[in-house]
Amino acid sequence: MIELREWIEDGITIRKIGNGYQVFTIPTQHFDITELDELTPDRFRAEVEKQKNFKELQDELWNQTIGKRVNEQSAELFKDLFND
């Protein structure tokens, strides 16, 4: 277990589901496995990378959505200042 320490030091939850387990840690969030021996450093690294990529995509989509709204609202607000 010591090789998994960096991923589980803040806690780990393993819940039995249907034909496997659902694992939760803060860096990985939820992921499913079928056997407990899948809990290896490589698996945790892959799950952390997947979570990082998901967060980057989510942030990009959020910024595009909010950025578009902010730009539209700013254009409307500043229209009165710059147009006579």
Interval 20-43: pLDDT, tens? 999 999 999 999 999 999 999 999
Q: How many domains does the chain have?
A: 1
Q: What range defines the domain where residue 77 resides? A: 2-82
- What confidence tens digit (pLDDT) does each residue in 42-79 have? 999 999 999 999 988 888 887 777 766 666 666 666 66
* Contact (Cβ atoms closer than 8 angstroms) between residue 44 and residue 7: yes
Quote the pTM value: 0.70
The sign of the dihedral angle between the CA atoms of 48, 54, 56, 59 is negative
